[in-house]
Structure 1
Amino acid sequence: MFIINFIRGFFMALADSVPGVSGGTIAFILGFYDDFIDSLNSLISRDNMENKKNSLVFLFKLGIGWVVGMVLSVLFLSSIFDAQIYEISSLFTGFIVVSIPLIISQEKDSIVGKYKNIIFAIIGIAVVALITYFNPASSNGGLNLSLDNLSVGLGIFVFVAGMIAISAMVLPGISGSTLLLIFGLYTGIIGAIKEVLTFNFSYLPILIIFGLGVLTGIATTIKVIKFVLKKYRSQTVYLILGLMIGSIYAIFMGPTTLEVAKPAMNLSSFSFIFFIIGGALIVGLERLKVVFEGKETKNKSNKKGA
Structure 2
Amino acid sequence: MTASHSPQPTKQSLPSDQLDADATIKDSPKDLATTYVKGIAMGAADIVPGVSGGTIALIAGIYERLINAIGSIGPDLWKVYRQQGGIKGLMAIWRHVDATFLLVLVLGIATSFATLSGFIKNLLDHQPLLIWSFFFGLVVATVVILLSEIKRWNIARAALFIVGIVAAVTISNLPPLTTEPSLTYIFFSGALAICAMILPGISGSFILLLLGVYDRVLEAVHSFNFPIIFTLMGGMITGLLLFTRALKWLLAHYYQGTLALLTGFIAGSLVKVWPWKVDELGTLAGDAINNVAPWHYPSGAQWFTTIGLMVLGAVLVSALSWWGNKTKPIDG
| Bucket of the pairwise TM-score, normalised by the shorter protein | 0.7 to 0.9
Residue 11 of structure 1: aligned partner = 41
The Cα RMSD (Å) is: 3.0
- Quick check: 1:78–1:187 contact (8 Å CA) kept in 2? no
What do residues 109-148 of structure 1 show as CA deviations (whole Å, max 9, x unaligned)? 3xx23233322222222222223333245xxxxx46xxxx
TM-score of the two chains, using structure 1 as the length reference: 0.77
What do residues 210-240 of structure 1 show as CA deviations (whole Å, max 9, x unaligned)? 2232122112101111122223333322221
- Structure 1, unmatched stretches of 5+, are 138-142
TM-score of the two chains, using structure 2 as the length reference: 0.72
- For 1:43 and 1:263, the matched residues in 2 are separated by 38
Aligned to 1:79, which of 113, 118, 122?
Answer: 122
- Quick check: 2:50–2:272 contact (8 Å CA) kept in 1? no
Aligned to 2:307, which of 272, 275, 278?
Answer: 272
Task: Identify if the C-alpha distance between structure 1 residues 63 and 87 changes in structure 2 by more than 3 Å, giving closer, same or farther.
Answer: same
Letter in 2 for 1:33: Y
- Quick check: 1:20–1:96 contact (8 Å CA) kept in 2? no
Percent identical pairs in the alignment equals 27
State the Cα distance separating 1:192 from its structure 2 match: 3.0
- Quick check: 1:181–1:254 contact (8 Å CA) kept in 2? no
Residue 169 of structure 1: aligned partner = 197
Give the alignment of 1:156-195 within 5 angstroms.
156=185, 158-195=186-223
Residue 140 of structure 1: aligned partner = none
- For 1:45 and 1:13, the matched residues in 2 are separated by 29
- For 1:132 and 1:36, the matched residues in 2 are separated by 25
Aligned to 2:150, which of 108, 117, 131?
Answer: 108
- Structure 2, unmatched stretches of 5+, are 1-30, 81-88
- Quick check: 2:134–2:313 contact (8 Å CA) kept in 1? yes
- Quick check: 1:85–1:255 contact (8 Å CA) kept in 2? no
State the Cα distance separating 1:282 from its structure 2 match: 0.7
- For 2:61 and 2:261, the matched residues in 1 are separated by 20
- For 2:215 and 2:127, the matched residues in 1 are separated by 13
What do residues 20-59 of structure 1 show as CA deviations (whole Å, max 9, x unaligned)? 4422222222222222122112233414245531211221
1:119 aligns with 2:159: yes
- Quick check: 1:78–1:191 contact (8 Å CA) kept in 2? no
Moved more, 126-135 or 30-39: 126-135
Task: Identify if the C-alpha distance between structure 1 residues 237 and 277 changes in structure 2 by more than 3 Å, giving closer, same or farther.
Answer: same
Task: Identify if the C-alpha distance between structure 1 residues 136 and 34 changes in structure 2 by more than 3 Å, giving closer, same or farther.
Answer: closer
State the Cα distance separating 1:4 from its structure 2 match: 1.9
- Quick check: 1:12–1:27 contact (8 Å CA) kept in 2? yes
Task: Identify if the C-alpha distance between structure 1 residues 237 and 283 changes in structure 2 by more than 3 Å, giving closer, same or farther.
Answer: same
Structure holding more helix per residue? 1
Aligned to 1:216, which of 219, 238, 262?
Answer: 238
- For 2:108 and 2:257, the matched residues in 1 are separated by 32
Paired positions, count = 276
- For 1:82 and 1:292, the matched residues in 2 are separated by 35
